[in-house]
Amino acid sequence: MSTTYEPTQKTQVRRRPDRGNYDRAVVHKIIDKALVAHVAFVENGEPRVLPTTIVRIDEDVYIHGSPNNNLLSAIAAGAPACIEMTLVDSIVAGRSGFGCSMDYRSVVIYGRAEQVTEPAEKERIIDALVQDIIPGHIVRRPKRKELAATLVLRFPLIEVSAKIRDAGNIDVEEDYDLDLWAGVIPLGVAAGPGKGCPRLKPGIETPGYALNYKR
């Protein structure tokens, strides 16, 4: 397998092509770190967008939800979709309004969904999602009715690209002589210590992965 994705008419980065990245490992890393993805599509001529959790397993990404969700049902029925996720790494404070920006990493995926129907495969994907978001967390096995009431959709990573800005300040040349502060403000996901459910049984302590969660 190639170490890069082949750019297509849809995934070729045209605006600032120097920021385009098709490296497979880079794309995977961004997807794996993202907690939320947005799935966009058109239904009956109207634009729709669906925020959702996402998990990558090898060269596929998966989303899930209720079969009663009209948006998911439209995607499951074959509507072409676009999936996007962005990680904001820093705020860039420039010397002018046009010099202010953000450093970020983003991924865009185009494709059509394949519905996962096998209960054992659904269970494997839900397990992978839990461990992706909460590594080390232990849960009970899903019930048959829970699996039956869950729509799981697979999107193959074929038409995909990343776009990355990691440039910091880029001001107009003459602005560098201004008596104004400029720089970057780093951002990240900071988790507080886990708080136990009020209905925990006596003696159950908060595990280390919840007390010291990092993303």
pLDDT, one tens digit per residue, over 146-190 is 999 999 999 999 999 999 999 999 999 999 999 999 999 999 989
Residue at token pair 């010291």? 212
Express each pLDDT in 142-151 by its tens digit.
999 999 999 9
pTM for the full predicted model: 0.93
Over the range 108-119, which residues count as b (16 or more CB within 10 Å of their CB) and which as e?
bbbbebeebeee
Higher pLDDT among residues 90 and 71, named by residue: 90
Please give the pLDDT value at position 199: 96
CB atoms within 10 A of CB 170: 11
Beta strands in 58-140 (DSSP E): 60-65, 81-93, 101-111, 114-116
User: What is the rounded average pLDDT of the residues 87-93?
Assistant: 98
Express each pLDDT in 7-60 by its tens digit.
999 999 999 999 999 999 999 999 999 999 999 999 888 999 999 999 999 999
Express each pLDDT in 100-125 by its tens digit.
999 999 999 999 999 999 999 999 99
Tell me the domains of the chain and their CATH numbers.
17-211 (2.30.110.10)
